[in-house]
Structure 1
Amino acid sequence: MTAQQPPGTALASRSLGRALLWPAVAVVLGFLLVYNFFAPSAELKPPARAVASAPAAPGAVAPAVELVLPRSVPKRLVIAEIAVDAPFTALAIGPSGQLNPPPPDDTNLVGWFQGGVTPGERGTSVVAGHVDTKTGPAVFLQLSLLKPGSKVDITREDGTIATFKVDSVETFSKAHFPDERVYADTPSPQLRLITCGGEYDKKAKDYTDNVVVFAHLDSTKRA
């Protein structure tokens, strides 16, 4: 399997930031950026609890409790199914308007977009990783092998492990990447895992596609 060579900070070579097509971030993630930089704490949502009410009638079904976590920085990503066990680094939007990729010299490192929500918060959390580096295969080499129902565990700074269940794994051409579908804000805690895929274009020094894993928060527990 041909692996991706991660780019330098200039994003002139194989660039995950370039791969994520972040020039549209001002539109697609505008709400997330405003949300985080202008109201960083007022909008944080604690774990939802069932509202106290009169005793339910016998046989009545109790109302579901919405699963939402407060903001907490992710520390470690574990996907046992594809042997991923990696620490996080924070990623930001660079001067070019693209998301900076994780450092290219570490094959076992994933990055999260710190301008958006943290994994488990209400909204869409974005996690990116290289499929390979100049030294060989990298953390998301086998990301495309996940399937609906696969589990993704993220250990957070607050000691919570947020478990996400995969809804779908899709491959998109970078030339026709569905920015709004991938990055748009959501009313529930969602996760997007993104890496490069498809054929390697030697002329462009980049892969032709992106692999995107869509997942939702399924459960939580203490680390």
Structure 2
Amino acid sequence: MAVGIGLGASAAGLLAMNAPDGLRDEGAIPPATAATTARASTVRPSPPVEVRGPGGWRAAVVPVAVARDGALALPEDDRNGGWWALGAPAGAAQGTTLLAGHVDTRAGPGTFAALHSLPLRARVEVIGANGRTYPYTVVARRTYTQASLPPDLFTRDNDHRLALITCAGAYNPASRSYDRNLVLYATPATQEYRSTTRRR
């Protein structure tokens, strides 16, 4: 399946009936301009394998690519989120780490439905394949139409940030898709990354 966050193209969408609405755009989006210098860090970046947030929210994350229609193809197992593998890994000095997941499924709420209730300043942790925890703070929330998702989300030379994406808005049964996407922007919370043992 694909979520509607394609590179300038609409997507097949999700297979359920309602997404929360009434969302307000809030906060200041981290700059997407090219970073003048790479952030100095001794921390090694790592592909994300899990994301965690307030209230016990957590989701496994697997690498994904772009489908033929230009949409980001989400994992076949809808319990997982997808990491755009051509983007930045967690803890990178530059670039956007883009994670996306379903808002709902045939069986009920999807893995990334929790994004609709995450407030500004919420702490989100991305677990890397190297066992490290990379903390981020949510600084902005935006909703975009399926066709107007900012292309700068798919960048690798801007100051490092995290983008969490899921569907929002009205559901169209004919196209089996929502008309909007919700994007939460987050910036690194601290340079004090720590090692962790991942629970399975």
Alignment partner of 1:48 is 2:41: yes
Q: Using the alignment, how far apart are the partners of 2:46 and 2:145 within structure 1?
A: 32
How much has 1:186 moved relative to structure 2? 4.8
Determine the C-alpha separation between the residues in 2 that align with 1:145 and 1:194: 13
In structure 1, which of residues 20, 26, 38 is the aligned counterpart of residue 5 of structure 2? 20
1:140 to 92, 107, 112: 112
* Structure 1 position 92 matched with structure 2 position 65: yes
TM-score (norm 2): 0.74
Contact 1:146/1:169 (<8 A) preserved: no
Aligned partner (choices 31, 48, 58) of residue 74 of structure 1:
48
Match of 2:101 in 1: 129
Which residue of the partner structure matches residue 157 of structure 1? 129
Partner of 1:37: none
Q: For 2:84 and 2:112, how far apart are their aligned partners in 1?
A: 16
In 2, distance between residues paired with 1:162 and 1:93? 25
Q: CA deviation at 1:47?
A: 5.8
Which deviations, in whole Å up to 9, do the C-alpha atoms of 1:53-92 show, x marking residues without a partner? xxxxxxxxxxxxxxxx4331212111124x3212111101
The Cα of 1:46 is off from its aligned counterpart by 9.1
The answer as to 2:192 corresponding to 1:222 is no
Q: Which runs of 5+ in 2 are unaligned?
A: 10-37
**2:123 touches 2:136 (CA, 8 Å); kept in 1?**
yes
* Structure 1, gaps ≥5 residues long: 1-6, 8-14, 25-44, 50-68
Letter in 2 for 1:111: G
Identity of paired residues, percent?
27
Residue 177 of structure 1: how far off its partner (Å): 2.8
Larger Rg: 1
CA distance in 2, matches of 1:184, 1:115: 9
In structure 2, relative to structure 1, the CA distance for the partners of 1:189 and 1:48 (3 Å cut) is: same
Larger RCO, structures 1/2 (Cα 8 Å, 6+ apart):
2
**TM-score normalised per structure 1:** 0.67
Q: Residue 133 and residue 203 in structure 1: after superposition, are their counterparts in 2 closer, same or farther (change >3 A)?
A: same
Which digits, 9 at most, give the CA deviation of each residue in 1:7-33, with x for residues without a partner? 3xxxxxxx31xx102247xxxxxxxxx
- Counterparts of 1:169 and 1:177 in 2: how far apart (Å)? 13
Distance 2:188 2:8 in 1: 28
Secondary structure of 2:60's aligned partner: strand
The match for 2:161 is 190
The structure-2 alpha-carbon separation of the partners of 1:95 and 1:174, relative to structure 1 and needing over 3 Å to count, comes to: closer
Aligned length: 165
Aligned to 2:150: 178
Q: Partners of 2:70 and 2:171 in 1: how far apart?
A: 23
User: Aligned equivalents of 1:160 and 1:175: distance in 2?
Assistant: 35
How far did 1:152 drift?
Answer: 0.6
